Amino acid sequence: MDNEKLCSRRQALGSIGAGLAALAVTQAFAAPETGKETFVSAGLEDPRNKYPKPPFKEQLQPWPGLAGKMDPVPDHGEKSYKGSGRLAGRKALITGGDSGMGRAAAIAYAREGADVAINYLPAEEPDAQEVVALIKAAGRKAVAIPGDLREEAFCKKLVEEAVRQLGGLDILVNNAARQQTKASIMDISSEEFDATMKTNIYAPFWTIKAALPHLKPGSSIIATSSVQAYAPSGELYDYAQTKAATTNYVKSLAEQLAPKGIRVNGVAPGPIWTPLQVSGGATMEKLKKFGGDTPLERPGQPAELAGIYVQLAANDGSYATGQIYGASGGHGQP
């Protein structure tokens, strides 16, 4: 090809590129009736009206509750979350993976290419089986491991089983939690206090210790904290202090494990519509108005936090460790 033909070809390609760019700009900026340029963005959603607002109907389930029996049923991203391969080949263990943020993370992880093991209580089997089906539908391996995290022996067995069935482990999400509302400290028995401490503090301690020998550089540990860690409610005396402890163990462990190339971060949700609320985590009066006092005037849905759990596990989030990511509808500090 001689220089004259080469120049002609470049000019033609340049003209085509300029034409396409002009067309794109014309489509994106237009307001002929006013003569002003306005950016037109497709797919915007008003966060105030995206999901149900209070008042909610009174509803009570025995602990630990089922998402499938809630009204309205929470959105965990079953229909909305679209993956893009950000966690391809990864292997994740999620406690409390049957509902709430754990379920949202499990769905998102699978659609991002990870194999996922979930833990849950035997009473939560109906919810758990839905999650297993969703993971498999994404073409990934699903491992269901029911059991009580308040037992140290089970926590060790849980990690061993997850590693065996997944063929390794590089993401650990400590999400399971116990929350029971009590108007007074005098109403909390030692047995109830112990159950909350073991579920929310002891279990992550046991699972992390069991998982660490399997975690290689690039692995992630993610904890579910809460807005209760820094803005505690009077009726959640025991639960709130466990979430303050969770926030602190994230920061402490991040310092400890950074030299090993293992990142540790946390997510601090505000009022999120999960079975915690309808199985003793909130009074009926608070449940009816749940989330209404936030600037967005509604509770969040687990699906709205799924992307945070993905980001904290993905390779492109590699500089984040010791961080707490908040999602509380306009309230909160992280």
Note the pLDDT of residue 24: 38
How is residue 107 written in tokens? 């769905």
Range 67-327: architecture per CATH: 3-Layer(aba) Sandwich (3.40)
Element (H, E) at 243: helix 237-257
pLDDT of residue 173: 99
Closest CA to 223 of 238, 208, 240: 208
Instruction: Answer whether the bond into residue 52 is a cis peptide, omega within 30°.
Output: no
| Per-residue pLDDT, 279 | 97
Res. 287: pLDDT tops 50 = yes
C-alpha to C-alpha distance for 84 and 166, rounded to whole angstroms = 21
Q: What are the sequence ranges of the domains in the chain?
A: 1-44, 67-327
Instruction: State percent of the chain over pLDDT 90.
Output: 86
* Tokens encoding 140: 């990934």
pLDDT for residue 300 is more than 60: yes
Burial group, residue 63, by CB count within 10 angstroms (0-12, 13-18, 19+): middle
- Check residue 334 and give its pLDDT: 67
Q: Is the pLDDT of residue 286 over 90?
A: yes
- The whole-number pLDDT of residue 114 equals 98
Question: What mean pLDDT do residues 22-44 have?
Answer: 43
Per-residue pLDDT tens digits for 157-202:
999 999 999 999 999 999 999 999 999 999 999 999 999 999 999 9
Does 331 score more than 90 pLDDT?
Answer: no
Residue 332's pLDDT is what?
73
Examine the residue annotation and report whether 239 is marked as an active-site residue of this protein: yes
How far is C-alpha 182 from the chain's CA centre? 26
**pLDDT score of 148 more than 80:** yes
Catalytic residue among 120, 239, 309, 325: 239
Q: What is the pTM of this model?
A: 0.87
Phi and psi at residue 289, to the nearest 5°:
-105, 15
Q: Mean pLDDT across the stretch 248-264?
A: 98
Q: b/e string for 165-185 if b means 16 or more Cβ within 10 A?
A: ebeebbbbbbbbbbbbbbeee
Mean per-residue pLDDT, 117-131:
98
Report the chain's mean pLDDT, rounded to a whole number. 90
pLDDT at residue number 36 = 41
Cα–Cα distance measured from residue 225 to residue 270, given in angstroms and rounded to the nearest whole number: 10
β-sheet bridge partners, residue 166: none
Cα–Cα distances (Å) from 268 to 154, 203, 239, 276, 331, in that order, read: 26, 18, 13, 15, 11
